[in-house]
């Protein structure tokens, strides 16, 4: 099956610093990747849709200058949380969609837990 990895699995950073999270599709090429955020006891919230070779599409209310997304290759998308604040502490999950484009074919990474102190 399709496998998606994320790195790091967890990270602790100080307020004001930046953190980069990587999302990789290991055994398939993903033209589209999604970045989600999940706060404790809440559902997934889509932050942005990342398409290879083009700018990401951000959901309403998500600051594109704060959450920088780069999808430079068909197997890698990165999310950089800039000038992190404690309220950015959350579980960040990426998913990747197969090139065939069916919404059915979406696979999730294991998630990255970010704690900002």
| Residues of this chain that bind other proteins (CB under 8 A) | 34, 42-46, 49, 91, 93, 101, 103-104, 106-111, 113
15-32 burial code (b ≥16 CB/10 A, e <16): eeeebebbbbbeebebbb
We find the least distance from the C-beta atom of residue 93 to other proteins, in angstroms, to be: 5
Identity of the residue, 15 or 42, whose beta carbon is nearer to other proteins in the bound complex: 42
We find the least distance from the C-beta atom of residue 112 to other proteins, in angstroms, to be: 10
Closest residue by Cα to residue 48 from 69, 23, 73, 20: 69
We find the least distance from the C-beta atom of residue 83 to other proteins, in angstroms, to be: 26
Identity of the residue, 43 or 54, whose beta carbon is nearer to other proteins in the bound complex: 43
Closest residue by Cα to residue 34 from 94, 80, 101: 94
């Amino acid at each position: 099956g399709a496998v998606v990895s994320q790195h790091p699995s967890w990270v602790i950073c100080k307020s004001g610093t930046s953190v980069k999270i990587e999302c990789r599709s290991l055994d398939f090429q993903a033209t589209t990747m999604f970045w989600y955020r999940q706060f404790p006891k809440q559902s997934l919230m889509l932050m942005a849709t990342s398409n290879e070779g083009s700018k990401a599409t951000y959901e309403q209310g998500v600051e594109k200058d704060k959450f920088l997304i780069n999808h430079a290759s068909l197997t890698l998308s990165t999310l950089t949380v800039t000038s992190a604040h404690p309220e950015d502490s959350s579980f960040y999950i990426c998913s990747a969609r197969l090139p065939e484009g069916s919404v059915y074919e979406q696979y999730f990474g294991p998630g990255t837990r970010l704690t900002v102190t």
